[in-house]
């Protein structure tokens, strides 16, 4: 009896300890600023049936930066404490960061370390390749459409697979309608057309193409053709260089001629200015001489006038003196009447 009590006393703590199940710990998912999150119930069969709907995804878009997952108990054994907590929903995020890719044959220039060049053939069956670059992103408004079409696959993978394949097809189709020489001449136009077509193709799927264009020149599969093209391009470059050098020399000659003409005009202008200045100086000398002559003439006239005035004054004084003397003689009657000294004053 005593042993039984001891065993019961030992079993009770063990049973109490065994009756404690696992703790219900909160599970959460952090959403980054460049991500759009969707909370999808993974146990609701009705919702799983609606998962292929863009409208359903829009309804389950979550704006929180931290999402708390709903949990439920799941049995893991036969005992009442054999269970665990599992989430009944999962979070799917769509990254909106712009992605840039470059497709070339050289791992040193391309985004990937494997050849991603776009293989093309001209109308006259001459094979060549073209490098290209592209940038794309997913907007907040298009996140649900992107998730609907690509089920959470990263944008980098979609660009290198789906979009690259489409661009390859469109470039091959357009270049395939042109002869080799036209392929070189119309490369820019073809890439512009493919860019527009790619934008129109993937915009309804939630991908915004920012740009698409060539990243390097056309590279021909046959080395001999490539060598001939290189020589042709080099010859054209040499001709263009010669033209540019001639134009530059012509410009230098024009500049030198203009400089010489300017110098000649400057010298002529300086000589004309000196001549005009000399004329002014000569005129000033003539005016000064004329002024001096006029002043001298005026002084001479003034001198003669003064002399004449002096003479007249002297004669007048002499006459006045004779008149006065005659008056005195007449009054004294010293001289006989009719005397020549009276000068007829007695009459």
pLDDT (0 to 100) of residue 12: 55
- Structure tokens, 164: 């690259």
User: For the chain, which residues make up each domain, given as ranges?
Assistant: 25-95, 99-221
Per-residue pLDDT tens over the stretch 10-36: 555 555 455 567 777 878 888 899 999
Per-residue pLDDT tens over the stretch 242-278: 888 888 888 888 888 888 888 877 887 777 887 787 8
- Structure tokens, 91: 């979070």
Cα–chain center distance at 45: 56
pLDDT (0 to 100) of residue 276: 83
Regions of the chain where pLDDT drops below 50: 8, 16, 50, 342
Q: Please give the CATH number for the structural domain made up of 99-221.
A: 3.30.479.30
Contact between 94 and 147 (Cβ < 8 Å): yes
User: Could you give the CA distance from residue 74 to residue 66 in angstroms, rounded to a whole number?
Assistant: 24
User: Could you give the CA distance from residue 295 to residue 299 in angstroms, rounded to a whole number?
Assistant: 6
User: Could you give the CA distance from residue 308 to residue 345 in angstroms, rounded to a whole number?
Assistant: 28
pLDDT (0 to 100) of residue 73: 81
User: Could you give the CA distance from residue 302 to residue 79 in angstroms, rounded to a whole number?
Assistant: 156
User: Could you give the CA distance from residue 137 to residue 35 in angstroms, rounded to a whole number?
Assistant: 12
Place of tokens 């009896």: 1
Q: Kindly give, in sequence order, each residue whose CB lies less than 8 Å from that of residue 112, ignoring residues fewer than 6 positions away.
A: 101, 103, 160
DSSP-H helix ranges across 164-222: 164-175, 180-185, 187-202
Which pTM value belongs to this model? 0.58
Give Cα separations from 125 to 88, 177, 232 (angstroms): 58, 10, 20
């Amino acid at each position: 009896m005593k042993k039984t009590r001891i065993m019961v006393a030992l079993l009770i703590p063990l049973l109490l300890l065994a009756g404690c199940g696992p703790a219900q710990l909160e599970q959460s998912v952090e959403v980054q600023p460049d991500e759009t999150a969707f909370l999808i119930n993974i146990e609701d069969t009705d919702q799983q049936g609606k998962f292929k709907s863009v409208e359903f995804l829009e309804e389950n878009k979550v704006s929180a930066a931290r999402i708390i997952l709903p949990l439920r108990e799941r049995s893991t054994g036969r005992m009442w404490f054999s269970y665990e907590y599992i989430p009944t929903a999962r979070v799917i995020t769509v990254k909106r960061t712009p992605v840039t890719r470059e497709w070339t044959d050289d791992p040193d220039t391309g985004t990937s370390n494997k050849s991603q060049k776009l293989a093309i053939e001209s109308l006259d069956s001459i094979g060549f390749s073209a490098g290209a670059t592209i940038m794309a992103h997913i907007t907040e408004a298009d996140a649900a459409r992107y998730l609907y079409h690509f089920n959470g696959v990263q944008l980098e993978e979609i660009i290198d697979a789906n979009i690259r394949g489409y661009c390859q097809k469109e470039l091959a189709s357009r270049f395939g309608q042109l002869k080799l020489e036209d392929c070189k001449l119309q490369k820019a136009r073809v890439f512009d057309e493919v860019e527009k077509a790619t934008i129109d193709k993937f915009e309804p799927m939630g991908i915004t193409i920012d740009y698409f264009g060539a990243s390097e020149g056309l590279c021909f599969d046959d080395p001999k053709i490539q060598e001939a093209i290189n020589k042709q391009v080099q010859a054209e470059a040499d001709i263009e260089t010669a033209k540019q050098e001639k134009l530059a020399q012509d410009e230098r000659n024009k500049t030198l001629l203009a400089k010489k003409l300017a110098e000649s005009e400057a010298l002529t202008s300086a000589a004309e200015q000196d001549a005009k200045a000399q004329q002014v100086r000569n005129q000033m000398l003539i005016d000064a001489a004329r002024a001096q002559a006029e002043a001298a003439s005026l002084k001479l006239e003034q001198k003669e006038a003064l002399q004449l005035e002096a003479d007249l004054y002297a004669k007048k004084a002499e006459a006045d003196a004779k008149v006065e003397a005659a008056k005195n003689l007449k009054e004294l009657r010293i001289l006989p009447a009719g005397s020549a000294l009276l000068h007829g004053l007695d009459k």
